[in-house]
Structure 1
Amino acid sequence: MAAGATAIVCAFVLGERDLLRAGVLVLVLPLLSTLAVSRTRYRLACARRLNPSRLPVGHESRVDLRLENVSRLPSGLLMVEDQVPFTLGGRARFVLERIEPRGCRELSYRIRSDVRGRYRVGPLTVRLADPFGMVELIRSFSLSDTLTVTPAIVALPPDRLGGAWTGGGDSLARTVALAGEDDIAPREYRHGDDLRRVHWRSTARHGELMVRREEQHWQSSGTLFLDTRRTAYWGEGQASSFEQAVSVTASVGSHLGRAGMGLRLVTDAGEVLPRSVAYEGAFEGALLDALAVARTSRNRSLTTGMAALRGSGGQGRDGDGLVIAVFGILSVEEAGAVAAARPGNASHVAVLIDAVPPEHAGPPVHAPKPASGPGSGYAAGPARLLRAGGWRVVVVRSAAELAGAWAAADQSGEEFARGAS
């Protein structure tokens, strides 16, 4: 437009009509392009699918886009861009020359993340341009989707966890599931009972209508505890010891959930997930979603978490059956307090993350001095106190060591149970 105005002025000064015509054309063309693009009434529909929408760190997800022209006019040149966080790989751009009326285009790209979290994918933006490339108009859809990147999960061996880790017996401590029904003994008929449940032999013996009670549904129960205090871990990002603790918690929770246990999740800040019936991976999905966004807390004490672990009012929860707690570095005082807080007859397992700190970073201020000798470190002292308090202790430096330590601990538990019997 500036060039056109300059050409018109020069045409009047020099008396050149041809230059005037060229100046008017150059001046008017951008205005006509702007008017044409602004009056464009494309009607586009967009659909997006993430496959899968939840995945572990380091894995890829495929994003499928479907862009449909629902108007009666063909579209012009389109540049399509899906808004993607930089952590997932940056921008996803496509250039579409033309979409015929009622036509559609299918696009796809892949995203991945090495950092767990919950990420927003979208919305999709479409840039419309005139044939001369002078004017560009941006339109944006409101549709967006969420990608959940969960912690890495270590596959644990399919051992006989129940008998070994509960200190004897053939099964875990059991509690009645919330959906459980009455026991099998007959009872008096109540209004509304199904007549097909009438127990005629008991009816004849008691002289009144009796119905069968159905068998209770029993379910193993347990509690997961995750220490999220910032002072208990060192390092940043994926190399931090906190990431190892989160991965260990996810691995244990998934393993026990698939085994049919009803679990709940507790941290040093209190209860995060209430106990749920293990049905078709419901708790596993909720656990992974919660751990995907888990962050370190500013708490310096485990008091609140231990109170939530024992239950409301500080009363013991014998029905917990199995308690597995994942800790960072514990001081001697904290280990003693945790050992003393072991309630009732529930079996308690402590997984201590004894990760080696980076060279440029020292251990937490309250960390005890590392013990000398093979296989010992910052967790040696707290581990002895927890064992003395009745806890079964597993020490790992990273989540990758969990499978071997898990199998070894279960084997030692079986030997202990046989010796006790």
Structure 2
Amino acid sequence: MIRAALRGLTTRGRSFLAAAVAAAVSAFVLGERELLQVSGLLAALPVLAVIAVARTRYRLSCTRSVRPGRIQAGSPAAVTLRLENLSRVPTGVLLLEEQLPAALGESPRFVLDRLSSRQSGSVEYPIRVDVRGRYEIGPLTVRLSDPFGLCELTRSFTRTERIVVTPQVAPLAPITLEGDRSGNTRSQPRSTVARGEDAASTREYRHGDDYRRVHWRSTARTGELMVRREEQPRESTGTVLLDTRFSSHRGTGPASSLEWAVSTAASVTCHLLRAGFDLHLVTDAGTDQAITPPTGENIALGLLAEVEASRIQSLGVALDRLRHERDQLLVAIVGLLTPEECTRLAAARTGGTSIAVLIDSTAWASLPAGAKAEADRRYQESVGRLAAAGWRVLPARPGARISSLWTLAGGSGVAAGAPTAPPAGTAYGAPLGTPAGPTYDATSAAASGPAYDAASAEATGPAYDATNGHASTNGYGTTNGYGSTNGNGARPGVPR
């Protein structure tokens, strides 16, 4: 311990020793015996400091807590450290330093005042992580020092804390999921609970839930914020396919197309789990995880937090794992596809709803004009091929929001009938980054405000007649009209 304390001499302590040696040499050279007394005093101070620090026997316990328990990428969090003095001897001023990985920022330092026997003290510091993943916080180091700052000794706790930073999860609006069990009929949703039973028809509020679904009577009765359960479609099983191949994505860091895909997979998975679906999460790397409510959300986010770009070249392994079950929901979140992969994915469509979030990964990279034109051509071919096979295709480009694209999945074809070749800066009928609001369908005029059935033109809210620009009284509109909030046509109707 003495050796460790000697190695812990600070610059000030070493300066005192150097001054003591210089005074002793001067005393012999100059014959000034008084300088020997000065030399002894200068040397005694750091030596006494070393002994005092080496004999320090603090018994400290440390506990660490992180809030919130689930941290989303880009969201702030707080870490609280609580130290307790277990010995009978009071401590001096404690200098603390928490070891953090580079992704969490610089290691914070604190000064904790004197702790009496059995007394505890706490400090708190903020963290913010922009990149999902698993991180290890700690260990905490305590720097012991003498009152004059001549010697400093560092001791470390052994305990660390692992935190999981999950992908960002965007709230998604409920949409009608259609099945193909008997022609092109709409799946009739069934309630997951018995009518009139508040306890069964509500659940606790979760992050991302729409506040408009809050059930105030149950909230007042339980004291906890409660929301109404969503209706569950009959096709209550499904698969979420995530393409993580390095070759199919572009960009780096949080702004890459891979991170957009992972965040989209997290949003869709959590949304479907909250709606009561039993899911399988499948990736090209061989992951095939069964996920069921209510614990599935934590499992899914934990898996997606650790997803990395795979070096696998083909999507074939993931496509082989797809379950071709009748009436099963299938959501594929994929990047660049070869013609063969696109053909196989198109053929993987099930009898239930099949939604393809097709990411235009080349838009995340700077390409020469010729290469860009060729990439766009291949992308358009993939969009058209999937749409022709009956998939609901949601084209995604930089700036697109899955919360906006998801509302378009309530229709059919490419983004609910939007054109397959949009002008620059648009995502097939919806501006990139368009906030969730009324989103219009360029072919069937389906809006995410009042939702229209493209086949029967039946509206779930007020419907508008595109011919005369007035609200109809029978709740039915034409398939080529554009409804607006003031009851007028947003623009002339598109003739059939």
Provide the TM-score with structure 2 as the length reference: 0.66
Deviations 1:184-208 (A, max 9, x none): xxxxxxxxxxxxxxxxxxxxxxxxx
2-side partners of 1:394 and 1:104: how far apart? Answer: 55
| Corresponding residue number in structure 2 for 1:2 | 18
* Paired residues, number: 359
Q: 1:331 aligns with which of 338, 350, 353?
A: 338
1:145 aligns with 2:161: yes
Deviations 1:145-196 (A, max 9, x none): 12222222221112233669995343589xxxxxxxxxxxxxxxxxxxxxxx
| Corresponding residue number in structure 2 for 1:379 | 379
Specify whether residues 83 and 353 from structure 1 end up closer, same or farther in structure 2 by C-alpha distance, changes over 3 A only: same
1:20 aligns with 2:36: yes
Residues 60-79 of structure 1 correspond to what in structure 2 (within 5 A)? 60-79=76-95
Q: 1:353 aligns with which of 359, 362, 375?
A: 359
| Corresponding residue number in structure 1 for 2:483 | none
Q: 2:319 aligns with which of 306, 315, 318?
A: 306
Q: Which runs of 5+ in 1 are unaligned?
A: 174-217, 311-315, 372-377
| Corresponding residue number in structure 2 for 1:33 | 49
Which amino acid in structure 2 is aligned with residue 277 of structure 1? T
Higher relative contact order (CA 8 A, sep 6+): 1
| Corresponding residue number in structure 2 for 1:249 | 265
1:168 aligns with 2:185: yes
SS at match of 1:252: helix
How far is the alpha carbon of 1:276 from its aligned partner? 3.1
Deviations 1:344-399 (A, max 9, x none): 63542211012563564569x8995414xxxxxx5321021122333232212247
1-side partners of 2:168 and 2:19: how far apart? Answer: 60
| Corresponding residue number in structure 2 for 1:84 | 100
How far is the alpha carbon of 1:271 from its aligned partner? 2.6
Residues 278-317 of structure 1 correspond to what in structure 2 (within 5 A)? 278-279=293-294, 282-310=295-323, 316-317=324-325
2-side partners of 1:336 and 1:368: how far apart? Answer: 19
Which amino acid in structure 2 is aligned with residue 393 of structure 1? V
SS at match of 1:410: coil
SS at match of 2:254: helix
% identical equivalent positions? 43
Which amino acid in structure 1 is aligned with residue 407 of structure 2? A
How far is the alpha carbon of 1:87 from its aligned partner? 1.9
Greater strand content: 1
Which amino acid in structure 1 is aligned with residue 46 of structure 2? P
Q: 2:292 aligns with which of 268, 277, 281?
A: 277
| Corresponding residue number in structure 2 for 1:106 | 122
2-side partners of 1:122 and 1:302: how far apart? Answer: 39
1-side partners of 2:120 and 2:279: how far apart? Answer: 46
Specify whether residues 165 and 154 from structure 1 end up closer, same or farther in structure 2 by C-alpha distance, changes over 3 A only: farther
Deviations 1:298-337 (A, max 9, x none): 1111111111124xxxxx4447x11111001212232112
Which amino acid in structure 2 is aligned with residue 278 of structure 1? P
How far is the alpha carbon of 1:219 from its aligned partner? 8.4
1-side partners of 2:72 and 2:334: how far apart? Answer: 22
Greater helix content: 1
Which amino acid in structure 2 is aligned with residue 353 of structure 1? I
1-side partners of 2:97 and 2:181: how far apart? Answer: 53
What RMSD over aligned residues (CA atoms) do the two structures have, in Å?
2.9
Which amino acid in structure 2 is aligned with residue 340 of structure 1? A
| Corresponding residue number in structure 1 for 2:432 | none
